Structure formats: structure tokens, C-alpha cells
Amino acid sequence: MAKAKLPETSQSLFAYMTAGQRDHWGMDAEHWDWVPGVGLISLLDYGIHAGERCTVDYVVQWVERNHSQAGQAKVINSMAPYAVFPLLYRLSGRKEYLAEAQEIARWMIEEAPRTREGAFEHTVTEDADFPEQVWADTVYMAVLFLARLAQVAADRRLAEEALRQTLLHLRLLQDADSGLMFHGWDCARQNHLSGAKWARANAWLTLAVPEIVAAVRGLAEIPEELPRRYRALAEGLRVVQAEDGLWHTVLDQSDFYKESSASAGIACGFIKAVKSGLLDETYIDSARLTVEGILPLITAEGEVCGVSGGTPVLASIAAYNEVPLYPTLYGQGLALQLLTEVSLLEIEARKGADEE
């Protein structure tokens, strides 16, 4: 692996994400929704870990610039930007971040629509309804925020709800045979809709669960079922990982195209899971292989290629292979998160070597 290339590539990803491109839905950062939300989460994590103050400042300025839009559509999928609020509060001590985060968390727990099983219904800002539907996306877009806030505020109630929602989603979406996750579950029809084991759905869960577990540890008891289900997911993912380290856009369809954002998210989740004790260290090898497959897909300008567009639960498995590829903030962000985690591994390895 080209270790020296990682920081340089991360900087180019940041530059591409913040260039103010608004000519395409996937790169338009100036609205309060999940797409820029995933980008913000990724940028803030990178800025904190890499010591890049300009990146943290960008996130603060984005919140100030777009805050007036926050209350226009109170839906589960637009909760993603709030995931930076607990960290911004911890960095700055500004109580308004904490107060607003707590009010949003109250809405989620007391008012947000739920399915008959008690899971958050996947509501979106677009003019579309998915009644009684559970999507894997929700765990990253909304539950991650609850866990982060629980940690910062030492709030047991939020921690318990974050664990409850995570486990509900794992139960409803996991395929018992392969361990992989279906994209969605229809509570009224009691089925997985098209039955697609969509890669990015698996990435959202693989990435979010280790951080959720790490955030609430010590605040609430983690049911043994949760790490058991997560390990089954990780084992299933490793089985279907391609030789170049990437994953196909539908995991069990080896003739479908490989998708870079899902691959980055899964690999990054593996690293986080090893750090949190959910997985053993052999999963680092799988993540490193993914980095080798991702780096050639990042242009000199910092664009991550091979990213599929926004994808609802589609009517058929075949339809997932028709989703167009184009640059997106979440694709940029997931790649940035992966490179950040790998860079941290390299720093730890050098530190260990120096101490010996």
C-alpha cells in the first residue's frame, strides 16, 4: 500500500467535497439532508483525527450557513447532519449545540413515526412515503446521532434507545443463512420487498454499529445478541468480498458492478469493529485489501469514481444494477473515512515500532 499517498489523497477528497459544486444532486452540500450529512460526519471525523482545523471550521460554517433549513423537514433521513452536533459541543463547549441536539433527540424518541415493531419508519425529505418500512440506512442516518449524543450527555435513556433501534434493525433485516442484510423490511407485508442484499445498506450497518456500541458502552447493557449478529454480518461480507477488495452493488450477484462507496463503508466498519472489540484483527487485512481497490478509483482531483446514486428499496434485484454512477458527497465521505482509519492504523504501527 502506498502509505505516503494516504494523507495526500485525503486532502484531495476534502478539496473536492468542499469546492462548492451545485450542478449535481450528489455534490450539492447546501441543504439539510442525509447526503451532505454523511459528508459532514466524514469531514469532522477526518478533521479531528488528522488535526485539520480548516476541516472542522468548514463543518461549523456549514451548520451556520444551512441551519435555517434544519426544521423544514423533520424526518428520519434528515437527522444525519445532527450527528456532528455532539462532537461540535465537545470541541467548542457551545451549549446551543447540546440543547438543539437534545430537542431533536426528544422528537425522535417521542414523535418520530415508528413501525408496528417499534423501529423508526424510514421517512425522507423527498415527496415519497414508505409506510411501515424499515431501511438499513436509518441506523447510520439517525441512530448514530442518538448514540453520540448519549455519550456526550451521559444519557442512559438515549443509549438504551440507540441499542434498541440497532438491534431491531439487525433482527428485521438480517438473512439467517448468509448473515447479510436486506435493504429493507415491510412490516405490513412481512417481507423484505425485492429481497436485495444491497451493498450500501450493509455498509451503513457495518460502519454504524461499532461506533454505536463504543459510544454507549458503560451507559447501557449491550445485549449479547447484538455482537453475535454483527459478527455474522461481517463473516458473510468477507465471504462475498471480491479478489480486488471491493463488493458488488448487490452482494450475492457477482455479475453486477462493484460499488466503491459501499466497499469503503464496509472496510471502514471492519476497522472500527476491530478497535471496539467486535471483530478480530484478521478483518484489518480485508480492509487493507479494499484500500488497494479503492485508491485507483480516486482521481488526481479527488473525485471518487464508481459510486452509485441515491437508491430507495427498488422493485427488483435487477434494478439495482441499473442505478447510475456519479460523484456524491456520501461516496467522497465514506472513502475519506476509510483512508482516515487506515492512516490512524499506520500511525499506531509506527508508534509501536518506535517504542520497541
The model's pLDDT over 137-146, given as tens digits with 9 standing for 90+, comes to: 999 999 999 9
The model's pLDDT over 322-331, given as tens digits with 9 standing for 90+, comes to: 999 999 999 9
Asked if 256 and 250 count as a contact pair (C-beta separation under 8 A), the reply is yes
User: What pLDDT sits at residue 351?
Assistant: 76
Asked if 186 and 240 count as a contact pair (C-beta separation under 8 A), the reply is no
Helical pair 85-92 and 53-66, crossing angle rounded to 10 deg: 120
Question: Which domains can be identified in the chain, with CATH numbers?
Answer: 5-355 (1.50.10.10)
For the question of residue 23 being annotated catalytic, the response is no
DSSP assignments along 142-210, one per residue: IIHHHHHHHHHHT-HHHHHHHHHHHHHHHHHHB-TTT-PBPSEEETTTTB-TT---BHHHHHHHHHHHH
| C-alpha cell of residue 327 | 460523484
Using pLDDT thresholds of 50, 70 and 90, give the confidence band for residue 1: very low
Using pLDDT thresholds of 50, 70 and 90, give the confidence band for residue 2: very low
pLDDT higher than 50, residue 99: yes
User: What pLDDT sits at residue 356?
Assistant: 62
Residues 255-276: what's their mean pLDDT?
98
d(CA 36, CA 331): 11
For Cα atoms 174, 180, 183, give the angle at the middle one, nearest 5 degrees: 70
Tell me which residue has cell 502506498: 2
Closest by CA to 335, choosing from 286, 273, 264, 266, is 264
Bridge partner list, 186: 133, 191
For Cα atoms 183, 189, 190, give the angle at the middle one, nearest 5 degrees: 65
Residues 152-161: what's their mean pLDDT?
98
User: What pLDDT sits at residue 310?
Assistant: 96
Residue 96's contacts (CB-CB under 8 Å, 6 or more residues apart) are: none
- Among the options 28, 57, 127, 137, which is catalytic? 137
Using pLDDT thresholds of 50, 70 and 90, give the confidence band for residue 343: very high
| C-alpha cell of residue 332 | 467522497
User: What pLDDT sits at residue 107?
Assistant: 97
Q: Exposure string (b/e) for 311-342, b if CB count within 10 Å is 16 or more?
A: bbbbeebeebbebebbbbbbbbbbbbbbbbbb
| C-alpha cell of residue 70 | 434544519
d(CA 135, CA 312): 9
Mean pLDDT over each residue of the chain, to the nearest integer: 95
DSSP designation for 130: -
